[in-house]
Amino acid sequence: MTLAELDVQHARSVGEVAAAADAAALEQVRVRYLGRNGLIPAVVKQMKDVPQEERPAFGKRAQAWRAALEAALAERQAAFAAAAPKDAPVFDHTLPGRWFAAGSKHPVSRVIEETAAIFARLGFSVADGPDIETRFNNFTALNTPAHHPSMDASDTFWLTDDLLLRTQTSPVQIRMMTRHAPPVRIITPGRTYRRDTTDATHSANFHQIEGLYVDTAPVSLADLKSTLAYFAKEMMGSEAGVRFRPHFFPFTEPSVEVDFSCHMCKGSGCRVCKMSGWIEIAGAGMVDPRVYEHVNRARGDEAYDPAKVYGYAFGFGVERVAMIKYGIPDIRWLYENDMRFLEQLA
């Protein structure tokens, strides 16, 4: 190699360093010129063939080339290292995104929250009561005769002679009226307990939502019906309707059972509504004067004078509404915490 050729190679190698697109390309340049079989070691090896008088100059230039190339490589390596720190994650925007398991609300919680939101729009607030109740609140004040079968030990979980796991959310009516003068306008969601054998539609522990509206201004059965009709439409869809059937409950007079029109067949009759077009949802009625009398006795005043107050009450099972709304065929699915079931509402 002549001196002129050496200068050309010098310039080319430094140019290749500048053109290397990444650290791997740079390493290829290094190997090509400085590696064991690289060009510079080869040039040094053939020094002996250079004419004697040119040799010092040739040696100096080759030395300068090596130094310049090493400096250029080091500088560029540093630049690549600074641009891509060693541990920085590589962002590949072509990868599909990762799915974060955000969890979802349980159907029972959904129905409770939706019910609270619907009734909030009608001026109802949410009230709460304990799972352990007194005989008075759960039965006596609700005008349940002393020997009513529902009080039997085969139906109710008694803790003592006086304390029990509440069989309904209705006792919260009594708690509410005992503490607050009319008007009261509440719904009360909560757990309820009965000695029921578990099957597809029964559970010993389930949830109810109770509603109570008592005022000194007239409140009628028609108000109850329009309120529940609004609830049905909001909960089940705008085509849902309600109907009342005469019934009996000790704490309401008159009492009704409330049916929603079947949301599956829109009332024409199907398996879900047993071909009737209607699904039984709630119990309801006008608060019985005997209930007010018990409340007044507990309060020690006449705030709920049966001649002066008007009120309605209703109560329904949360699981039942959830099963109908979401098409869940077995109540046990609501308690098994099977992710395959729960994830479907995510």
Residue 252 touching ligand DAH (CB under 6 A): yes
Selected binder of ligand DAH within 129, 171, 277, 285 (CB under 6 A): 285
Q: Which stretch binds ligand DAH (CB under 6 A): 31-39, 100-108, 270-278, 280-288?
A: 280-288
Residue 189 touching ligand DAH (CB under 6 A): no
- Cβ neighbours of residue 67 closer than 8 Å, sequence gap 6 or more: none
Residue 283 touching ligand DAH (CB under 6 A): yes
Selected binder of ligand DAH within 33, 213, 231, 249 (CB under 6 A): 249
Q: Which stretch binds ligand DAH (CB under 6 A): 13-21, 129-137, 227-235, 313-321?
A: 313-321
Query: Measured from the CB of residue 170, what is the shortest distance to ligand DAH in angstroms?
Result: 4
- Please answer whether residues 249 and 255 qualify as being in contact, where contact means their C-beta atoms are separated by less than 8 angstroms: yes
Phi, psi of 158 (to 5 degrees): -85, 135
Residue 188 touching ligand DAH (CB under 6 A): no
- The alpha carbon of residue 40 and the mean position of all alpha carbons in its chain are separated, in whole angstroms, by 68
Query: Measured from the CB of residue 243, what is the shortest distance to ligand DAH in angstroms?
Result: 16
Helix-helix angle 221-236:318-326, to 10 degrees = 40
Site map 199..238 versus ligand DAH, x via CB under 6 A:
-----------x----------------------------
DSSP state of 151: G
Taking the least distance from each CB to ligand DAH, the nearer of 196 and 330 is 196
Query: Measured from the CB of residue 98, what is the shortest distance to ligand DAH in angstroms?
Result: 46
Taking the least distance from each CB to ligand DAH, the nearer of 43 and 209 is 209
CA dist 102 and 64 (Å) reads: 63
DSSP state of 145: -
CA dist 169 and 138 (Å) reads: 8
Query: Measured from the CB of residue 294, what is the shortest distance to ligand DAH in angstroms?
Result: 15
Taking the least distance from each CB to ligand DAH, the nearer of 33 and 314 is 314
CA dist 301 and 47 (Å) reads: 120
Query: Measured from the CB of residue 157, what is the shortest distance to ligand DAH in angstroms?
Result: 15
Tell which residue, 207, 259, 201, 260, has the closest CA to residue 236: 260
State the sign of the Cα–Cα–Cα–Cα dihedral 64, 65, 71, 74: negative
Radius of gyration from C-alpha coordinates of the chain? 42
Position 81, amino acid = A
Site map 56..75 versus ligand DAH, x via CB under 6 A:
--------------------
Site map 116..155 versus ligand DAH, x via CB under 6 A:
----------------------------------------
State the sign of the Cα–Cα–Cα–Cα dihedral 56, 61, 63, 64: positive
Query: Measured from the CB of residue 266, what is the shortest distance to ligand DAH in angstroms?
Result: 27
- Please answer whether residues 168 and 208 qualify as being in contact, where contact means their C-beta atoms are separated by less than 8 angstroms: yes
**How many Cβ atoms from other residues are within 10 Å of residue 150's Cβ?**
14
DSSP state of 252: E
Taking the least distance from each CB to ligand DAH, the nearer of 107 and 171 is 171
How many residues in the shown chain lie near ligand DAH by CB under 6 A? 11
Taking the least distance from each CB to ligand DAH, the nearer of 13 and 138 is 138
Taking the least distance from each CB to ligand DAH, the nearer of 190 and 285 is 285
Overall size of the chain counted in residues? 346
- Site for ligand DAH, rule CB under 6 A: 168, 170, 210, 249, 252, 283-285, 313-315
